[in-house]
């Protein structure tokens, strides 16, 4: 190990006082725990069975979780997926997954279950330190939609995303953020009957973007549809059949199709609109 910058060590310590290690090899788990203690971790719990680890989550409330990919008694992918869809306080805790000789398909599986990053065994001290800085000190946008809950996947394993810009933080302001939120509302319809809880979580997140945006979007079809959805949420009466026509109305109100008329309508609605408002976390249901 090498000399650690005291300032960096102090910053890391603030974010990793409680750590859960899910690892089937006792010697490897002890080595990893020793490395984390040098970085400032104080309460480190080691488990070799994912069921026992799941029972610990509520009381331990870990700041950081490090899990093996898969062993005889550990399924790190399913463990992470269940954590992300839980109601635990630590559901958004950074998760590092470790595995030797990981394949591209396994990387995709890890990314899609909600893991923050994957670290290939064996790894050096600097590799671990770099990943910890990424997941603890550079928090990524949290995504909660019908088909996925976890950190934004476009920065998975520290890669720089090069694709289309769709989220509020990418630039593009109000139009980008609202259209993306409406698309995700539409996607929630597809899983509403199979997983109502996941669909509702997604709907709530998107409405926290849409509701404050109604102050700047003057299209009555859009604002009326948003109002009906909020009313149904507050009365706990939202269903797939009720939601679908209102989502359709929102898409029509925003001109979200390929026609020239729709593009003109969108330009008139948004123009040089300001950046998207911050999510309204006060939306009550």
CA distance between the termini of the chain:
51
pLDDT for residue 170:
44
Binning pLDDT at 50, 70 and 90, where does residue 18 land?
very high
Residues 177 and 130 grouped into a single domain: no
pLDDT for residue 169:
47
Is position 120 within any domain?
A: yes
Residues 93 and 184 grouped into a single domain: no
The answer to whether residues 198 and 184 touch, using CB atoms and an 8 Å cutoff, is: no
Percent of the chain with pLDDT over 90: 36
| Mean pLDDT computed over 3-27 | 87
Please list, in sequence order, all residues whose beta carbon lies within 8 angstroms of the beta carbon of residue 90, skipping any fewer than 6 positions away: 57, 60, 61, 62, 63, 65, 83
pLDDT for residue 192:
81
Summary count for the chain: helices (H), strands (E): 11, 7
CATH code assigned at 60:
3.40.50.2300
Could you list the beta-strand ranges (E) of 36-122: 43-47, 64-68, 95-100, 117-121
Is position 284 within any domain?
A: no
Instruction: Extract the tokens encoding 126.
Output: 């600097």
DSSP secondary structure string for all residues of 125-140: HHHHHHHHHHHHHSPP
| SS3 state at 256 | coil
Binning pLDDT at 50, 70 and 90, where does residue 277 land?
very low
Residues 110 and 172 grouped into a single domain: no
| H or E element in which residue 151 lies | strand 148-151
Q: Which domain holds residue 88?
A: 18-139
- Largest Cα–Cα distance of the chain, in whole Å? 66
16 has pLDDT over 80 = yes
Location of structure tokens 């609605």 = 269
Is position 9 within any domain?
A: no
Residues 122 and 183 grouped into a single domain: no
DSSP 8-state assignment for residue 90: T
Is position 243 within any domain?
A: yes
Residues 120 and 172 grouped into a single domain: no
CA distances from 54 to 28, 152, 207, 230 (A): 21, 23, 31, 35
Instruction: Extract the tokens encoding 284.
Output: 């009550």
Residues 38 and 126 grouped into a single domain: yes
Residues 135 and 177 grouped into a single domain: no
Residues 120 and 176 grouped into a single domain: no
Percent of the chain with pLDDT over 70: 82
The least confident of 84-88, 182-186, 268-272 is: 268-272
pLDDT, one tens digit per residue, over 140-157 is 888 887 778 889 877 666
* C-alpha 70: how far from chain center: 22
Is position 257 within any domain?
A: yes
Residues 114 and 27 grouped into a single domain: yes
pLDDT for residue 114:
93
- Closest by CA to 87, choosing from 194, 189, 197, is 197
In this structure, what are the phi and psi dihedrals at residue 70, rounded to the nearest 5 degrees? -155, 135
The number of folded domains in the chain is 2
The least confident of 87-96, 172-181, 240-249 is: 172-181
33 has pLDDT over 50 = yes
The least confident of 106-110, 184-188, 261-265 is: 261-265
Residues 45 and 133 grouped into a single domain: yes
Is position 109 within any domain?
A: yes
| Mean pLDDT computed over 106-128 | 88
Indicate the pTM of the whole model. 0.62
26 has pLDDT over 80 = yes
Is position 116 within any domain?
A: yes
Is position 148 within any domain?
A: no
The answer to whether residues 72 and 96 touch, using CB atoms and an 8 Å cutoff, is: no
């Amino acid at each position: 190990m090498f000399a650690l910058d005291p300032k960096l060590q102090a910053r890391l310590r603030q974010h990793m006082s409680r750590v859960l290690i899910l690892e089937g090899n006792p010697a490897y788990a002890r080595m990893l725990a020793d490395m984390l203690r040098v970085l400032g971790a104080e309460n480190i719990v080691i488990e070799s069975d994912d069921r026992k680890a799941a029972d610990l989550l509520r009381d331990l409330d870990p700041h950081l979780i490090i899990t093996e990919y898969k062993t005889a008694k550990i399924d790190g992918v399913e463990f992470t997926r269940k954590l992300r869809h839980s109601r635990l306080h630590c559901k958004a805790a950074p998760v590092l997954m470790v595995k030797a000789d990981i394949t591209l398909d396994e990387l995709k599986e890890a990314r899609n279950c909600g893991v923050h990053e994957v670290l290939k065994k064996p790894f050096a001290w600097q590799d671990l330190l770099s990943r910890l800085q990424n997941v603890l000190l550079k928090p990524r946008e949290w995504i909660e939609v019908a088909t996925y809950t976890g950190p934004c996947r476009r920065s998975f394993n520290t890669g720089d995303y090069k694709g289309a810009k769709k989220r509020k933080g990418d630039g593009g302001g109000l139009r980008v953020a609202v259209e993306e939120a409406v698309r995700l509302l539409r996607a929630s319809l597809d899983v509403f009957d199979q997983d109502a809880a996941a669909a509702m979580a997604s709907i709530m997140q998107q409405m926290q973007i849409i509701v404050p945006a109604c102050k700047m979007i003057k299209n009555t079809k859009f604002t009326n549809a948003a109002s009906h959805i909020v009313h149904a949420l507050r009365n706990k009466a939202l269903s797939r059949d009720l939601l679908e026509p209102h989502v359709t109305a929102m898409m029509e109100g925003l001109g979200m199709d390929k026609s020239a008329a729709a593009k003109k309508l969108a330009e008139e609605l948004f123009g040089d609109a300001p950046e998207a408002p911050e999510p309204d976390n006060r939306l009550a249901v």
